[in-house]
Amino acid sequence: MACIASPVAIRRPSPVMVNMVPKTVVVASPVPSARTTLPQRSPHAVSNKNLGHYILGKTIGEGTFGKVKLGRHILTGERVAVKVLEKERIQEVADIERVAREVQLLKLIRHPHVVQLYEIIETKGQLYLIMEYASGGELFDYIVQNQRVPEPEACRFFHQIIAGVEKIHAMNVVHRDLKPENLLLDEHRCIKIVDFGLSNRFNLGQLLKTACGSPCYAPPEMVSGQNYVPQMCDLWSCGVILFAMVCGFLPFEDSNTSALYKKILAANYSPPSFISESVKELIAGLLTVDPSARFTIADVRGHPWYQQISEASVRPKDLVAGQCGLDEDVLQVQTFCRMDSFSFAPQSQG
């Protein structure tokens, strides 16, 4: 499978590869033996343009299970992104598990640089995820439009990416699919991390083994089929993202998948001469083959390139105890038939 980027401009990689390493087997959590389907609850009032308290507008994206539409709250006028999940497309256990995992993790993680889930509305044939709207689009498109990101601006973005990743890891969650396509920009051009479908929970000190995500952003230990430290997996991806921002193309490229993996395993990349020595050093620290020697978040924050500007991440607002801004009743186990039966708690398989 090709996952290439031209040395002139970054290109969108091929679709996500789950089980990138043939010998790696995804071990599903225990599931009911009968064919699992989404529940059918009483239909919510919905028309072609209205959904509960929201008015649906134009389509702004297309996903595996349906479209993403722009929505507006009827009373407040607030714009939201409405992820429309077609139930008929979500029939396989793995698909139900992916959707349920994303809902559960978005419910868990509350941070200015992680997209927020506001509400879930269910109809007979669809699930509507009412989410925070990031009007600036993908970081990927921003890089393409500008050819590359000037280093001071890339540093600002990187502060926000690192802050979001730090929060995700603090919740014992690993993202496993960090890439510019999964980093959105809001109206203030601030980063919002999205798409937790390949994420998982982990215990302190636990190693994971499932190979998933996009090959160009995957670390050597995942590509080679080894068990891996979850946090180090995401930090390698952060190194690839940083390279893509300041260079305008990906560090690892080859039309042959086997050759691509060899380059990743050897960290065989060539930074261009037009980027600073300081950012080269930071990239090298993140794109270190040995995960035990790879830069940690503390190392990143202590690096001179990171410190060239004042901290640019947005601080989380203090929440009143027990208040998370969501309708908790909507996000209970009724949303999916026995969601807990999929065991999204930490699993040794990873």
Catalytic residues: 177
Dihedral, CA atoms, 41, 39, 107, 83, nearest 10 degrees? -80
**Which of 146, 228, 141 has the alpha carbon at shortest distance from 185?**
141
* Residue 143 tokens, joined: 């890089």
> Is 34:337 a contact under the CB 8 Å cutoff?
no
228 near 221, Cβ under 8 Å? Answer: yes
Residue 192 known to bind ligand: no
CA dist 223 and 19 (Å) reads 10
Token pair, residue 77, equals: 């006028």
Q: What is the phi/psi pair of residue 175, to 5°?
A: -80, -55
Query: How many whole angstroms separate alpha carbon 290 and alpha carbon 286?
Result: 10
* Run of H or E residues at 58: strand 54-62
